[in-house]
Every structure is written in structure tokens, then in C-alpha cells.
Amino acid sequence: MSTSDNEFQKALDLGIAGENKVYEYLKSTNSLVMNTRLHKHDEKIGPRMHGLAGSVVLPDFVVYNKFEDKGNFAVDVKVKKSIYPIGNKLCFTVDNKFEDYVRAVQIMKLDYLALIFVFEDNLYFYKDSDLIGTTVYGNKWSNGTVYLFEHNKAKICG
């Protein structure tokens, strides 16, 4: 295995561990949780919906609650090693799959998209409405528009 393959595998393992931690948290705090990560994806591109309307990347989980105050929502997990200074704010970033996640929420008629950032062993719970803006990156991690969520310790959950 090459060095870049090893780095990719380490990042993948870290991401899966973070997703598993969030899955356990969601199951302990919500009525029902669907793990969309387990949907078959032969194309090696991750779980998606396909059809005449195109292709939409699915977020990691879909949460259904019997109590209206919690709502029904989709969750995507982002494991972060750092937060990024954008302007005068420190931000978590999400690549352009964010657009597909929002579309999936609309198609599934859910109440909102949640993004849970795993950072320094904490879970930060954000809603899509917490988006503060976008910027453009061109580096080895992201190329194109990235979506910005301001780092806020008040968002720690679990």
C-alpha cells in the first residue's frame, strides 16, 4: 500500500469511528434512526438515490421522532481535525455534497438537515439554517465551493 493509500485508509477509519459514535448518540436520543451508510452502493461513490430526476447523495442517517418538537431530519457526520479561519471567524466546512444533502431532505420531506461535526472528541450539532456563508477552496481536500458553519462550543451535544 502506498503512503497516500495509507493516509486515505487512516482518514476513512477515523471517519467511520466518528460516524459510529454519532450513530450511538442518535439511537439513544431519538425514536428511530435509519443508517443510510449501509445502503448498497456498487458504484463506489457512496449511498445515493437514483432515478429520472438524477442522482442525489444521501446523508449518513435519517432520524424519525414520534414527538413533533424534535422533528424528523437527516444527519451527515463530518469528522474534523481542525477548524478553519475564514475572514474573522473559525469555521467548520462542508464540501458541495451539502447541496445534495439539502435536496435529499426536501425529497424525503424531512424537517431539516443536521450536520454533526466530530472535533476534539466532541459532537457539535448544527442545522442547515446555521450556515453562515460559502467560500471557494482549491486544495487537496476540497476543490470548489465549501459551506461554512461557525465554530461554537454552545453547539456541543452528547
Q: Which residue has the higher pLDDT, 40 or 134?
A: 134
- What lies within 8 Å, CB to CB, of 71 at 6+ separation is 65, 110, 111, 112
Task: Write out pLDDT tens, residues 13-34.
Answer: 788 888 999 999 999 999 999 9
Domain 3-157: CATH architecture, name and number where available: 3-Layer(aba) Sandwich (3.40)
Which of 42, 131, 146 has its CA nearest to residue 93?
146
Between the ranges 42-51, 59-68, 110-119, where is the mean pLDDT highest? 110-119
pLDDT value, residue 127: 97
Task: Write out pLDDT tens, residues 92-134.
Answer: 999 999 999 999 999 999 999 999 999 999 999 999 999 999 9
Q: For 49-74, give one letter per residue: b (16+ CB within 10 A) or e.
A: beeeeeebbbbbbbbebeeeeeebbb
